[in-house]
């Protein structure tokens, strides 16, 4: 347990202080989730965190959709963490006076279906066999993930969200939510995302999955928890991480600098002779410590299959039923989810008469910019949410 001094120091650095992950059980049979790929799944356990207080009218809720390898821990610290522990992955954006102001808003973040951080996924126990699902876990789509998010929102007694926000795969969830449940959200904030993954993105995912499956320890997905294809999963992460960066960010951070020597070794054996090599190995090693290989396979496949226009006939048909206001943001150095893809969303929203704001942000950090450039996000998100909130209050006042 932390001392009072440690608690004070943590609260100074983190807007929301200590937090706890909560669990909800949804879709209990016979009310199982009907999956887009066929079949059913239930019960489903969902791990989530909340920050701030829900108003009596339950009209100030914001849902955060995390990216591919994220989780529900978006802000704050866990009390049992040691002094080296890091806060939630978007901690600088959430808390009193920040863009997601917990003095005003009730913020929710949940681990996705198919994940490995508390929500039902491949390593969860199959109630029918009493063993982990592994590859018996059903195929899931982004839509299935959103179905669970929506059910969690209703479980918390919230009929309509003030906004849903997400980047990358999280942004795909936001788009699907607007199409699938058009009356459930008032605002949609989509960062560094698209209505479908590019062929290049699918290719990188395919190589990552191949790295996992060809690791001898993968054992056709039947590895024990804590074991498995550590080298293959680390390699998949290294490959993916390259796509999250930009040429400029890699050059700024590493260049061609060597790790420990002033001269080249001119040998084939060293794998971390350059600093960038060491960095990628470090990212792979850390990832293996927190993520499940089967979850990685399922979630990257869900990302590959996401195609909003094909699912609904066109983007205008997909997004035409919602009255939500949209904020779309891209980054000039992001080559995984390009500005061209964001503009495609903007054109479709304009065509069907929706309120949409768009900005291409300048950043050297590539696709990872939405996790790093917090000040830029603050400037965009704060007024967008403030307008949505004031509009909601005005509507409530008219009704009363």
Which domains occur in the chain, in start order? 4-196+296-399 (3.40.50.1820), 197-295 (1.10.1740.110)
What is the CB neighbour count within 10 angstroms for residue 1? 6
Each residue of 100-143: pLDDT tens digit? 999 999 999 999 999 999 999 999 999 999 999 999 999 999 99
Q: Count Cβ atoms within 10 A of the Cβ of residue 3 and give its class: 0-12 exposed, 13-18 middle, 19 or more buried.
A: exposed
Q: Which residue has the higher pLDDT, 369 or 224?
A: 369
Average pLDDT score over residue span 343-347: 98
Q: Please tell me the predicted confidence (pLDDT) of residue 235.
A: 95
Q: Please tell me the predicted confidence (pLDDT) of residue 88.
A: 95
Q: Which residue has the higher pLDDT, 3 or 259?
A: 259
* C-alpha–C-alpha distance, residues 312 and 318, integer Å: 5
Q: Count Cβ atoms within 10 A of the Cβ of residue 182 and give its class: 0-12 exposed, 13-18 middle, 19 or more buried.
A: middle
Instruction: Report residue 10's pLDDT band, with 50, 70 and 90 as the boundaries.
Output: low
Examine the pLDDT at 269 and tell me if it is beyond 60. Answer: no
Q: Please tell me the predicted confidence (pLDDT) of residue 4.
A: 54
Instruction: Report residue 239's pLDDT band, with 50, 70 and 90 as the boundaries.
Output: very high
Among the options 150, 168, 249, 330, which is catalytic? Answer: 168
Q: Which residue has the higher pLDDT, 311 or 251?
A: 311
In this structure, the dihedral spanned by the alpha carbons of residues 366, 249, 245 and 254, taken in order and rounded to 10 degrees, is: 180
Do 279 and 254 form a contact (C-beta atoms < 8 A)? yes
Examine the pLDDT at 23 and tell me if it is beyond 90. Answer: yes
* C-alpha–C-alpha distance, residues 308 and 312, integer Å: 6
Do 322 and 182 form a contact (C-beta atoms < 8 A)? yes
Q: Please tell me the predicted confidence (pLDDT) of residue 355.
A: 96
Q: Please tell me the predicted confidence (pLDDT) of residue 278.
A: 84
Instruction: Report residue 5's pLDDT band, with 50, 70 and 90 as the boundaries.
Output: low
Each residue of 133-189: pLDDT tens digit? 999 999 999 999 999 999 999 999 999 999 999 999 999 999 999 999 999 999 999
Six-digit token pair at 154?
Answer: 């209703």
Does 334 participate in catalysis according to the annotation? yes
Q: Please tell me the predicted confidence (pLDDT) of residue 197.
A: 98
Mean pLDDT across the chain, nearest whole number?
92
Question: DSSP string covering 203-247, please?
Answer: HHHHHHHHHHHTSGGGGGGTPPTT-S-HHHHHHHHHHHHHHHS-H
Q: Write the CB contacts of 74 (distance below 8 Å, at least 6 apart in sequence).
A: 49, 51, 64, 66, 88, 89, 90, 91, 94, 107, 109
Does 71 participate in catalysis according to the annotation? no
Average pLDDT score over residue span 58-67: 98
Q: What is the pTM of this model?
A: 0.94
Average pLDDT score over residue span 331-355: 98
Average pLDDT score over residue span 254-264: 68
Average pLDDT score over residue span 211-240: 95
Does 215 participate in catalysis according to the annotation? no
Among the options 149, 333, 334, 342, which is catalytic? Answer: 334
Average pLDDT score over residue span 36-62: 97
Each residue of 331-341: pLDDT tens digit? 999 999 999 99
Instruction: Report residue 36's pLDDT band, with 50, 70 and 90 as the boundaries.
Output: very high
Examine the pLDDT at 268 and tell me if it is beyond 70. Answer: no
Annotation-wise, does 323 bind a ligand? no
Annotation-wise, does 292 bind a ligand? no
Length of the chain (residues): 400
Average pLDDT score over residue span 283-295: 95
* C-alpha–C-alpha distance, residues 65 and 112, integer Å: 8
Nearest to 175 by CA among 358, 362, 320, 313: 320
List, in sequence order, every residue forming a beta bridge with 125; answer none if it has no partner.
132
Q: Please tell me the predicted confidence (pLDDT) of residue 319.
A: 98
Residue 7 DSSP SS3: helix
Q: Please tell me the predicted confidence (pLDDT) of residue 31.
A: 97
Instruction: Report residue 196's pLDDT band, with 50, 70 and 90 as the boundaries.
Output: very high
Average pLDDT score over residue span 71-86: 80
* C-alpha–C-alpha distance, residues 337 and 195, integer Å: 10
Highest mean pLDDT among 224-228, 362-366, 393-397: 362-366
Q: Which of 25-29, 38-42, 272-276 has the lowest mean pLDDT?
A: 272-276
* C-alpha–C-alpha distance, residues 123 and 121, integer Å: 6
Q: Which residue has the higher pLDDT, 386 or 82?
A: 386
Q: What percent of the chain has pLDDT over 70?
A: 91
């Amino acid at each position: 347990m932390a001392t009072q001094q440690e608690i004070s120091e943590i609260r100074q650095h983190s807007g929301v202080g200590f937090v706890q992950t909560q669990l909800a059980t949804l879709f209990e049979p016979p009310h199982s989730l009907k999956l887009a790929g066929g079949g059913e799944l239930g019960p489903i356990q969902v791990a989530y965190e909340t920050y701030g207080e829900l108003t009596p009218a339950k009209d100030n809720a914001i849902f955060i959709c995390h990216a591919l390898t994220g989780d529900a821990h978006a802000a704050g610290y866990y009390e049992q963490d040691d002094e080296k522990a890091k806060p939630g992955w978007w901690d600088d954006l959430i808390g009193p006076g920040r863009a997601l102001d917990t003095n005003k808003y009730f913020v929710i973040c949940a681990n996705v279906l198919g994940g490995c951080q508390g929500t039902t996924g491949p390593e969860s126990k199959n109630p029918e066999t009493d063993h982990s699902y592994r590859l018996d876990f059903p195929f899931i789509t982004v839509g299935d993930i959103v179905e669970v998010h929506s059910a969690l929102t209703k479980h918390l007694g919230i009929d309509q969200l003030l906004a849903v926000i997400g980047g990358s795969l999280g942004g795909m969830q936001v788009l699907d939510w607007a199409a699938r449940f058009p009356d459930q959200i008032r605002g949609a904030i989509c960062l560094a995302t698209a209505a479908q993954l590019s062929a290049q993105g699918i290719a990188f995912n395919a190589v990552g999955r191949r790295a996992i499956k060809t690791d001898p320890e993968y054992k056709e997905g039947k590895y024990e928890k804590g074991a498995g294809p550590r080298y293959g999963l680390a390699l998949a992460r290294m490959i993916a991480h390259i796509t999250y960066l930009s040429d400029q960010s890699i050059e700024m951070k590493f260049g061609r600098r060597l790790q420990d020597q002033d001269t080249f070794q001119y040998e084939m054996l060293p794998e971390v002779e350059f600093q960038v090599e060491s960095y990628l190995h470090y990212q792979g090693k850390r990832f293996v410590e927190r993520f499940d290989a089967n979850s990685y396979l399922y979630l990257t496949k869900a990302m590959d299959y996401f195609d909003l226009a094909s699912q609904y006939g066109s983007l205008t048909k997909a997004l035409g039923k919602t009255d939500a206001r949209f904020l779309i943001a891209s980054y000039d150095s992001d080559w995984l989810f390009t500005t061209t893809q964001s503009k495609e969303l903007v054109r479709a929203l304009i065509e069907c008469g929706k309120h949409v704001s768009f900005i291409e942000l300048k950043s050297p950090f590539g696709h990872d910019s939405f996790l790093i450039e917090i000040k830029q996000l603050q400037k965009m998100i704060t007024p967008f949410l403030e307008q949505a909130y004031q509009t909601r209050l005005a509507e409530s006042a008219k009704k009363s």
